[in-house]
Amino acid sequence: MKKNLLTFLLMVMLAPACSDNTQVPVIRLALQTEPTTLDPALALDYSSGMITSMIHSNLLRFDEDGKIVPSLAKDWSITEDGLLYTFRLSRNRFSNGRLLNSRDIIFSFRRLLDPETASPRWWVLGALRGAEEYHRGGSFDKNSLYAPDDSTVVIRLEYPAAHFLSLLSMPSAGIVCEEEVISAGGDYGRRPCGSGPWKLSEWNEGEGLLLVQNTSSSDCNPEIEGISIRIIPESMTRIAEFETGNLDILEVPRAELDIWRSAGVTLLEKEELSVVYIGLNNDKYPFSDIRVRKALNMAIDVDMIIAKVLFGAGQRSCGPVPPGLSQGAKGEDLYRYDPEKARELLADAGLADGFTMEIWQRENPESGRILESVQGYLSKVGISVRIITREWGALKEAVDKGTPDAFYLDWFADYPDPENFLTPLFHSSNRGGGGNRSGYSSPGVDSLLEAAALSGDDRLRKEIYSEAERMIYEDAPWIFLWFPVRYEVVSYRLDGYRIPLIFNSRQFIDTRFR
Amino acid sequence: MAGYTLKRILLLFPTLFGVVTVTFFLMYVIPGDPALALAGERYDQQTLDNIRKELGLDQPVIVQYFKYLGRLARFDLGRSFTTGRAVSDSIRERFPKTVILALSAMLLAVTGGVLAGILGAWGRFPWLGRPLMGLSLVGVSIPVFWLGLILIYIFSIKLSLLPPSGYGGGSVRYLILPAVTLSFASMATIARVTRSGFLEAGNEDFVRTARAKGLGESAIVGKHLFRNALIPVVTIVGTDFGSYLSGAVLTESIFGWPGLGRYVVQAVLKRDFPVIQGSVLFMAVIFVLVNLVVDISYGFIDPRVRLKEKD
Amino acid sequence: MDGWRRFIRDFSRNRMAAGGLVFLILIVLAAAFAGLIFPDGADEIDLDNALRSPSAVHPFGTDPFGRDLLARVIYGARISLGVGFLARTISLLLGLFFGTVAGYFGGRTDSIIMRLADITFAFPALLLLIAVMAVVSPGMISLFTVLGAIGWASMARLVRSRVISVKEYEYVEAARAAGAGHLKLAGKYILPQCVSPVIVVYTLGLGMIVMAEASLSFLGLGVQPPLPSWGRMISNGIVFMRSAPWLTLFPGLVLTATICSFNLVGDGIRDALDPGSKRIAARTGKEGMIRGRLQQGL
């Protein structure tokens, strides 16, 4: 056993050194940024969230199509009023071999809410009864979360939340192993222990991680011995690595799409659950004037930008909710490219001579390219744009304070539900740091969103969201841009791999080697 | 000499103290709240407050400063805000890799540079001089990041000879491209300086005497010229090596080398105060130490410098 | 002005240096009259003409927005050269002032200034730059201010060492004995002696600043769009390295040629001014200092 492990490790170590070695049953990936932590309570960014959810499992999980399927919980029931959730656990083990029981769920959830953990994602369980008070430093309501026996967990909510099961499937609600958290001290994020299909074997800072199969997990993929994840910041370098056969999966940068399309390889394509937009500061003149906001939407030829700058890797958005999640406003197109109309609207608003505005962005060559073309289009209707680049911290601080006129941002879904796009981005209670950074505020939309959250009927809920989305689209709080499409190429030796709808369901459970 | 060395070592402390203090207060001048960067895209005031408290940012700046100095006195660099990892652990993991890259680049630069310089100056191959010096001129002038990209394009993408990036567990194949890229400018400078050093020394009296005495060319080169041409080379090695050791950001980013340079840039972008402070201090220590060694080594190579330092 | 004539003669005999100068003059002229050569500017977007390969109409090809790359490179020269000259001038002024003060007065003043110079050297330039860009708005102004501010230390060291040796010259002693004030002594007798090494270091440093500006822009910390900067053009072109290699090739070539020319001209001036100065510069390694901090240190 020990010897086998040693040979395996040796093989893994040698693997990247020889490009022709395709025998090692390890999937080789590359990420642009290194995960910051693998602690579910603290993981925030794409890399951390993705790897955290490979290592930890939740009560439920999303499958590749974003559907909620059982994971640790084999079944569950919800009371009529939507307040009491009862989960029955299946038999599972942590990667250290210990049997997972209901107390681990309670420990993990309480830890997420504990103010001392200072989790940025505590709101995932914010609907629990008394959770907000506990997070503010009050006492914990033991009746909101308890375990009648070793394999049952009961959760009581403050108010019904139709998307609660989705929240439970997010990486932040991953189940951690209590004794490992305690023994790791402050280092749990680098020594995680979960019951997911993979466990962390090595983490060389700045270089990459090696995950190996977690044989004690019920989701274990016996055909794949491990996943090596390298950190490669430059996209050109990632391409070179794929071309030399050192990677199994490559996200194709848009600038290279034409090359790969004509190369005869299979390009996997997926509309991601995310939206790209230019938020307008709705509180600030002239963007407080709806005519100006509409004019801005009409002054930009979004289709042309998608075709030429994104090389087709996007779908123009008529509303904030990606097509996978809504069936509402998609049909109507209120803001077709029409510079004449835009100029008229500006003249109506008393701005016939144009004006100067700032668009803020975070430092990134691609968004720079996009904003340069936006700048070009707006100059044609007399609006001169100054592009202000700040790194993420400074940009967020300024945007949340409402300083910039406009800002170029994107929003990634944490769970596949229109609620995740509409409530944080447009409910007036979330203005600023809550997600509604354009400061949009409409009592009508607010009440629709509140009604939808309370509704137990899924169809009715979707209809209410569609209506809210239509109203938002008409008010044009943003310059609506597009829903990005993700392209990946996969080495010939992988089989059964699909791009998941949501990034945190990339668990490689069904992937095989040919 | 010992007195001079001691004095120089004592002078390091005010410099380092200055670096620590400037870095610390610079952090608080920069807009961009580190707690905000950790709060994610969706947060409330309470979350921010909890994070600030957790990181100790809720105290007055001056209290934080003295606490920081207190920790430094115990050689504790603190934990990263973003990853929660001890800064000293990260530096310990990354520094050896930076050293490997820096050492191999310097080695390449010195051997290649001195060799090219001698060949360029030596009368035996007059036709070699111009092309070598032209090449070295391009070498000093070519931007590191552009050179790196071109090397990846040629050797990895087109010829598939060398891996384009990564550390590869220390495998030499992975080291070649980044080391060559990083060494290029130093190599070119060293070649130029060596050549002019040799040419000048060749005109000096003692060499002419030696030549007149009928000593062979190689004996002259080996015995008399080498020592004279060496001093400027040492200077360049010193300064360049010092800055290589504090991490070559551009080379590291292009080749995905897990060294110190990327660590600090990432930290600056994320407002990770403990990491910035810790690694800036660490780099400064390395930089001044290398400079000190260089300055002292002059005295051993050239006694004249020793005399000059006395005034 | 016999010395001046000899300088011209020596300089123009150095064919490489003269070639470098001609190239620089061409670039400066093109940058100055860019508006005449390309009256439409370099920012007009024409997505229909995106990514055309080099041809007679577009000698350098077009970028992803259909803008003429040659026009962008020429307009970009304004940024790169502008940042270079301004930054070096700031370094020069600061360095002259502090170097003279340190060398002239010596003692405590000297050691304080030299400690400050040490701190500047030991401080990662990139960090300072990001800090300033965050406080001031990022862009050209913060770029040359910071690059200029970083360069003061090496200039000050050079001036200081020169001042210290000149101070002891007999005619300076004589002037002091005759009752000349500090200002007159420094301005009339000491500073003129520093001119030649300072000019050389100034010119050589220009190339380094152009390189530093490109490197920073490459890291995304330079000037803001749509201003064309060579470094940003290269950095934006990387993803097109296989589909449109001209996007990185031409700006890179022009950038390298420009830095090359500054180095050639700097060397040429040094040789023509004073053949002996080569030795001093090489020995004290000032070039190495500047390059070490600005290029590798980034």
Q: What is the DSSP string of chain C?
A: -HHHHHHHHHHHH-HHHHHHHHHHHHHHHHHHTHHHHSTT-S----GGGTTPPS-SSSTT-B-TTS-BHHHHHHHHHHHHHHHHHHHHHHHHHHHHHHHHHHHHH-HHHHHHHHHHHHHHHHS-HHHHHHHHHHHSPSSHHHHHHHHHHHHHHHHHHHHHHHHHHHHTSHHHHHHHHTT--HHHIIIIIIGGGGHHHHHHHHHHHHHHHHHHHHHHHHTT-SPPTTS--HHHHHHHHGGGTTT-THHHHHHHHHHHHHHHHHHHHHHHHHHHH-TTHHHHHHHHTHHHHHHIIIIIT-
Instruction: Quick: pLDDT tens for A504-513.
Output: 788 898 888 9
Please report the pLDDT score of residue C261 as a whole number. 92
| B281 touches B267 (CB < 8 A) | no
Q: How far is CA A371 from CA A377, A385, C174, in A?
A: 10, 9, 66
A402: left (phi over 0), alpha (psi -120 to 50) or beta: left
Mean pLDDT of C28-53: 83
State residue A2 phi and psi, 5-degree precision. -65, -40
State residue A315 phi and psi, 5-degree precision. -125, 130
Q: Which of these, B195, B192, B199, B196, lies nearest to B141 by C-alpha position?
A: B192
Q: Which of these, A252, A212, A254, lies nearest to A229 by C-alpha position?
A: A212
Antiparallel, parallel or unpaired: β A84-89 and A152-156: antiparallel
Taking contacts as CB-CB distances below 8 angstroms, the residues of chain A near C138 are 388-390
Domain boundaries, chain B: 16-73, 98-310
C239 and A259 in contact by Cβ < 8 A?
no
Kindly provide the ipTM of the predicted complex, given to two decimals.
0.81
> B27: nearest CA in chain C?
C131
- Report the 3 state secondary structure along A61-91: EECCCCCEEECCEEEEEECCCCCEEEEEECC
> A390: nearest CA in chain C?
C134
A337 & A443 share domain: yes
B30 touching C (Cβ < 8 Å): yes
Antiparallel, parallel or unpaired: β A355-362 and A406-412: parallel
Taking contacts as CB-CB distances below 8 angstroms, the residues of chain B near A438 are none
Kindly state the tokens that stand for C141.
Answer: 């102004």
Q: Which of these, B251, B275, B305, B225, lies nearest to B93 by C-alpha position?
A: B275
Please report the pLDDT score of residue B211 as a whole number. 67
C131 touching A (Cβ < 8 Å): no
A306 & A405 share domain: yes
- With a pLDDT cut of 90, the percent of chain A lying above it is 62
A248 & A280 share domain: no
C243 touching B (Cβ < 8 Å): no
C220 touching A (Cβ < 8 Å): yes
Q: Give the Cβ contact number of residue C40 at 10 Å.
A: 11
Instruction: Quick: pLDDT tens for C237-273.
Output: 888 888 888 999 999 999 999 999 998 888 888 778 7
Residue with tokens 């569609």: A466
Query: Lowest-confidence range among A157-166, A210-219, A299-308, B129-138?
Result: B129-138
Q: Which helix (H) or strand (E) holds A112?
A: helix A102-113
Please report the pLDDT score of residue B304 as a whole number. 55
Interface subset of B 266-285, CB within 8 angstroms of A: 269-271
A438, pLDDT greater than 70: yes
Reduce the DSSP state of residue A201 to 3 states and report it: strand
A482 & A507 share domain: no
Q: Which of C124, C207, C295 sits opposite B283 (nearest CB)?
A: C124
> B236: nearest CA in chain C?
C288
C91 touching A (Cβ < 8 Å): no
Residues 6+ apart with CB under 8 A from A420: A163, A166, A413, A414
Instruction: Quick: pLDDT tens for A61-107.
Output: 998 888 899 999 999 999 988 899 999 999 999 999 999 999 999 99
In a domain, A350, yes or no: yes
Taking contacts as CB-CB distances below 8 angstroms, the residues of chain A near B82 are 36-37
| B229 touches B194 (CB < 8 A) | yes
A226 & A319 share domain: no
Distance CA A414, CA B197 (A): 64
Q: Which of A365, A376, A394 sits opposite C235 (nearest CB)?
A: A365
Please report the pLDDT score of residue A330 as a whole number. 56
Q: Is C52 exposed, middle or buried (0-12, 13-18, 19+ CB in 10 A)?
A: middle
The contacts found for A454-460 with CB under 8 angstroms, 24 or more apart, are A454/A82, A454/A159, A454/A160, A454/A162, A455/A162, A456/A82, A456/A160, A456/A162, A458/A162
How far out from the chain centre does Cα C46 lie?
34
A344 & A435 share domain: yes
B243 and C288 in contact by Cβ < 8 A?
no
* Exposure of B247 in the CB half-sphere (CA atoms within 13 A): 31
Query: In this structure, is the dihedral angle defined by the CA atoms of residues C59, C64, C66 and C72, taken in order, positive or negative?
Result: negative
Distance in Å, alpha carbon of C224 to nearest chain A alpha carbon: 7
Residues 6+ apart with CB under 8 A from B111: none
A147 touching B (Cβ < 8 Å): no
Q: How far is CA A342 from CA A159, A278, A293, A377, B173, in A?
A: 44, 17, 10, 11, 58
Q: Which DSSP category does A93 fall into?
A: B
Task: Name all chains with 3 or more CB-CB pairs below 8 Å to chain A.
Answer: B, C
Chain A / chain B CB contacts < 8 angstroms:
159
Distance CA A79, CA A59 (A): 18
The CATH number that applies at residue A118 is 3.90.76.10
A308 and C47 in contact by Cβ < 8 A?
yes
Residue with tokens 């500061």: A281
Residue-wise burial string across A23-54, b where 16 or more C-beta atoms lie within 10 A, e elsewhere: ebbbbbbbbeebbbbbbbbbbbbebbbbbbbb
**Residue of higher predicted confidence among A363 and A268:** A268
State the Cα torsion A373-A378-A379-A385 to the nearest 10°.
-80
> B269: nearest CA in chain C?
C130
Please report the pLDDT score of residue C290 as a whole number. 39
C128, pLDDT greater than 60: yes
- With a pLDDT cut of 90, the percent of chain C lying above it is 18
Mean pLDDT of A133-162: 93
Residue with tokens 């006694």: B303
Q: What is the mean pLDDT of chain A?
A: 89
C292, pLDDT greater than 70: no
Instruction: Quick: pLDDT tens for A99-109.
Output: 999 999 999 99
Distance in Å, alpha carbon of C242 to nearest chain B alpha carbon: 9
- Please name every residue paired with C213 in a beta bridge, in sequence order, or none if there are none: none
CATH of domain B98-310: 1.10.3720.10
Please report the pLDDT score of residue C205 as a whole number. 85
Interface subset of C 101-130, CB within 8 angstroms of A: 130
Q: What is the mean pLDDT of chain C?
A: 80
A317 & A449 share domain: yes
Residue-wise burial string across A464-480, b where 16 or more C-beta atoms lie within 10 A, e elsewhere: bbbbbbbbbbebbbbbb
C134 touching A (Cβ < 8 Å): yes
A37 and B43 in contact by Cβ < 8 A?
no
| B256 touches B174 (CB < 8 A) | no
Distance in Å, alpha carbon of A369 to nearest chain C alpha carbon: 8
Distance CA A417, CA C24 (A): 60
Please report the pLDDT score of residue B310 as a whole number. 39
Taking contacts as CB-CB distances below 8 angstroms, the residues of chain B near C296 are 144, 182, 185-186, 240, 243-244, 248
- The CATH class, in words, for C2-297 is mainly alpha
Query: In this structure, is the dihedral angle defined by the CA atoms of residues A441, A442, A445 and A446, taken in order, positive or negative?
Result: positive
Domain holding A431, by residue range, is: 274-486
Query: Lowest-confidence range among A453-462, B1-10, B175-184, C275-284?
Result: C275-284
Q: Give the Cβ contact number of residue A63 at 10 Å.
A: 17
Q: Which of B140, B236, B264 sits opposite C124 (nearest CB)?
A: B264
Q: Which of A258, A364, A376 sits opposite C65 (nearest CB)?
A: A376
Per-residue pLDDT of chain B (311 residues; tens, 9 = 90+): 677 788 888 888 888 898 889 888 887 777 677 888 888 888 888 888 999 998 888 899 999 999 999 999 898 999 999 898 999 999 999 999 999 999 999 999 999 998 888 888 776 777 777 788 888 888 888 988 889 988 988 888 888 888 888 888 788 999 999 999 999 888 988 888 888 777 777 666 666 676 677 666 666 666 666 766 777 788 778 778 877 886 688 888 888 899 888 888 778 777 788 998 898 888 888 888 887 887 777 767 665 554 444 33
Please report the pLDDT score of residue C178 as a whole number. 83
Q: How many distinct structural domains can be found in chain A?
A: 3
> A370: nearest CA in chain C?
C65
Distance CA A203, CA A230 (A): 10
Instruction: Quick: pLDDT tens for C187-241.
Output: 888 888 788 778 888 888 888 888 888 888 777 677 766 677 888 888 888 888 8
Distance CA C162, CA A496 (A): 73
| A504 touches A50 (CB < 8 A) | yes
A372 and C226 in contact by Cβ < 8 A?
yes
A244 and B53 in contact by Cβ < 8 A?
no
What does the angle CA B19 – CA B25 – CA B31 come to, to the nearest 5 degrees?
Answer: 130
State residue A89 phi and psi, 5-degree precision. -90, 150
Please report the pLDDT score of residue B221 as a whole number. 63
A253 & A132 share domain: no
Q: Is C90 exposed, middle or buried (0-12, 13-18, 19+ CB in 10 A)?
A: buried
| B115 touches B71 (CB < 8 A) | no
State residue A70 phi and psi, 5-degree precision. -65, 150
A371, pLDDT greater than 80: yes
Instruction: Quick: pLDDT tens for A9-48.
Output: 444 444 444 444 445 689 999 998 899 999 999 998 889 9
Antiparallel, parallel or unpaired: β A26-31 and A314-316: unpaired
Residue with tokens 């003060």: C101
> C234: nearest CA in chain B?
B146
Reduce the DSSP state of residue A382 to 3 states and report it: coil
B232 and C263 in contact by Cβ < 8 A?
no
C296 and B253 in contact by Cβ < 8 A?
no
B153 touching C (Cβ < 8 Å): yes
**Residue of higher predicted confidence among A212 and B243:** A212
Domain boundaries, chain C: 2-297
Mean pLDDT of C67-93: 90
Choose from B133, B239, B255, B276 for mutation: most chain C CBs within 10 A.
B239
A443 touching B (Cβ < 8 Å): no
A397 and B51 in contact by Cβ < 8 A?
no
Query: In this structure, is the dihedral angle defined by the CA atoms of residues B254, B260, B266 and B269, taken in order, positive or negative?
Result: negative
Q: How far is CA A349 from CA A319, A375, A458, in A?
A: 24, 21, 42
Distance in Å, alpha carbon of C214 to nearest chain A alpha carbon: 14
